[in-house]
Amino acid sequence: MWRWLHPYAKPEATYNLLQKLLPWFVALTLVTLVTGVVWGLAFAPGDYQQGDSYRIIFLHVPAAIFSMGAYMGMAIMGAVALIWQIKTAEWSIPAIAPVGAALTIVALLTGAIWGKPMWGTWWVWDARLTSELILLFLYVGVMALYFAFDDARTGAKAAAILSLVGVINLPIIHFSVEWWNTLHQGATITKFERPSIATSMLIPLLICLTGFAFLTVSLVMMRLKNEILRQELHRPWAQQKLEQD
Amino acid sequence: MAFDSFTDFVSMGGYGLYVWLSFFLSFVVLAGVALETLLAKRQLVKKSKQLQQRQQRLARRKASRAAVGDGNESKT
């Protein structure tokens, strides 16, 4: 049943697949992200409590969700790399980590800028904010470990182990707003009941979420392509690919 | 449209600074990652060219030594 997956253990096959899919993902990213942002900024109604400052949500929530989503993906790749020793899985770790770190930075920055007018402060050591900051450090740690060894595969193994250990932080981030009820508000859409947000705001938010999903995947694909070429630079197929662009 | 005029849109009900700053910084960070990735690709193209030139140089040297056949290859 999983036979079709086997050829993609070969880096060249994965590269060719990424090359074929990437333009579509980039196009989908641009369409959804522009639609979502324009809709959120100009067409969604203002909030009855927060006025127009709430429009930061259209960046903040998608960035925060995919900062965790990217981490989950990286940890799964880490598990695959440790269990089946697949090189492409190892190489996807340094492809995902910087993208996840960037999303975490966006979530933290937009949160701080949103916090200033609404909470009266840029930063508090609230559980949600602190655990999200730890997520950033985990990403930085994974990247540092990956490149810290002369032998690339040892580095990949170390980074994979750290990424798996760091998974413990994800439920902490998610449930932090329930376990420690401090300043950060509760979940708006990531819960099982009906979302606590008006449909006229929910639709652009969902479009922004889709846009960030495509953006995350596109950036990871771009970086994974680079990492595959970097690792296979001595092979003729990689040199030929690089000659073409 | 949630705003009556363009000035209204820019001022964001008094929260203009916060809203536009957060959108601007997010763009800078995410576009920065994309740009860095593209620059890294360019660097790889350059590195690959250097590697290929070196391989060709080595191959040429080997070939010319073999053609002369002065036994140099065993001395070094």
Instruction: Confirm if A184 and A128 have CB atoms less than 8 A apart.
Output: yes
What pLDDT does residue B70 have?
56
Residue A233 CA to residue B44 CA, distance in Å, equals 8
Which residue in A37, A242, A243 has the most chain B C-beta atoms within 10 A of its own C-beta, making it the best mutation to test that interface?
A242
Per-residue pLDDT tens for A188-217? 776 566 777 888 899 999 999 999 999 999
Chain mean pLDDT for chain A: 92
User: Percent of chain A beyond pLDDT 90?
Assistant: 72
CA angle A166, A169, A171 (to 5 degrees): 130
pLDDT of residue B18: 94
Q: Residue B34: its chain A contacts at CB < 8 A?
A: 219, 222
Answer whether A64's CB lies under 8 Å from A107's CB.
yes
* Closest B-chain CA to A230: B44
| Of B47, B13, B39, B73, nearest in space to A242 by CA | B47
Q: Does A23 touch chain B (CB under 8 A)?
A: no
Helix/strand/coil (H/E/C) assignment for every residue in A53-110: HHHHHHHHHHHHHHHHHHHHHHHHHHHHHHHHCCHHHHHHHHHHHHHHHHHHHHHHHH
**Touching check for B6 and chain A: CB below 8 Å?**
no
Q: Which of B19, B32, B48 sits opposite A55 (nearest CB)?
A: B19
- Chain B, nearest residue to A95 by Cα: B37
A33, closest residue in chain B (CA to CA): B27
| Spatial contact of A212 and A157, defined as CB atoms under 8 Å apart | no
Look at residue B76 in the predicted model and tell me its pLDDT.
47
Helix/strand/coil for A196 = coil
Question: Hey, are the CB atoms on B13 and A52 less than 8 Å from each other?
Answer: yes
A217: distance to nearest CA of chain B, Å?
Answer: 12
* Nearest Cα to Cα of residue A66 among A122, A139, A123, A126: A139
Note whether B58 contacts A: Cβ–Cβ < 8 A: no
Tens of pLDDT, residue by residue over B11-37, are 898 899 999 999 999 999 999 999 999
Q: For A46, which residue in chain B has the nearest alpha carbon?
A: B2
Cross-chain Cβ contact A59/B48 below 8 Å:
no
Q: Is A213 on the interface with B (CB under 8 A)?
A: no
Q: Which residues of chain A have pLDDT under 50?
A: none
What pTM was computed for the model? 0.91
Higher pLDDT: A134 or B2? It is: A134
Say yes or no: A102 contacts chain B, CB-CB below 8 A. yes
